[in-house]
Structure 1
Amino acid sequence: GFLRSQLTLISLSGSIAVIGLTALRIRYAWLLGLLVALFDFLPMIGPSTIFVPMIFYYLFMGNISYAVWLTVILGVILVSRQLAEPRIVGAQLGLHPLTSLTSVYLGIRLLGASGFILGPLIMVVLKAIMVVIFIPAWKKEG
């Protein structure tokens, strides 16, 4: 479930990168899009690892319009991921989107990069404990 949701998210990021880079006629758009997807899968690295050096390259080369468009593409990737992640991860794991987003955030804050994966998994375990143990006990009392 979680791996499938991450593959969906990195596919989204990679696709946006390929479309944007192809529209700008940047060489090796497919390869760069694949690298964006790969780096997007790695916590704390992300697509900025590919885009920021490219943005600076075009700035130093005096091609301001390419630098601006690359910044826009990076912004679209980052915003779309932030909007899609809670819904996609939550749907795959059976969590509410806000719970999913909170679990990713707390996982990273408390456990570092590994918390990106462990946070949602811990939340799923906690949800299972609630459903199996606590909710039936509360129903018996009420």
Structure 2
Amino acid sequence: MNDVRRNVEETKEAISHQLLEFQSQAQANQNILHAQLSELVNYINRGSADKKGESSSRGPQQPPHAQIRDSGTGGDSVTGGDSAVRTPTFAQRVEMAQRRIIESVLDADRNSESLERQAAAERDRERRRREARLLKRRRRF
């Protein structure tokens, strides 16, 4: 009977541990999705604020490659000489935001790799300094 009780306790503990891991992973995924959606909503809202002329208080402007050039004069285009700049459609803004999110993730990956290389180089330099100090001490004696 004690063996059965012990087995049940071990199983319960293992399941509890797995549940905690699952909850932790789910929370991390939710945080990532929340951050990405927030960035997307802010980007879309910034686009609608540009239409109203409020872009200066809303943060950075859209990058130049995000603007759509049109040679004619159409619905919501702003004429400026021969060419006009149209405000991107919702689908285009979503696509641009998705590209921006992907680029920021890739940049973060590149930055983390660079930081890892720098940390490894610093560890290597520190190791060489320690070795040099030890050699100096040995030469004294």
TM-score by length of 2: 0.30
The answer to which structure, 1 or 2, has the higher relative contact order (CA under 8 A, 6+ apart) is 1
Greater Rg over alpha carbons, structure: 2
The structure whose residues are more often strand, as a share, is 2
The structure whose residues are more often helix, as a share, is 1
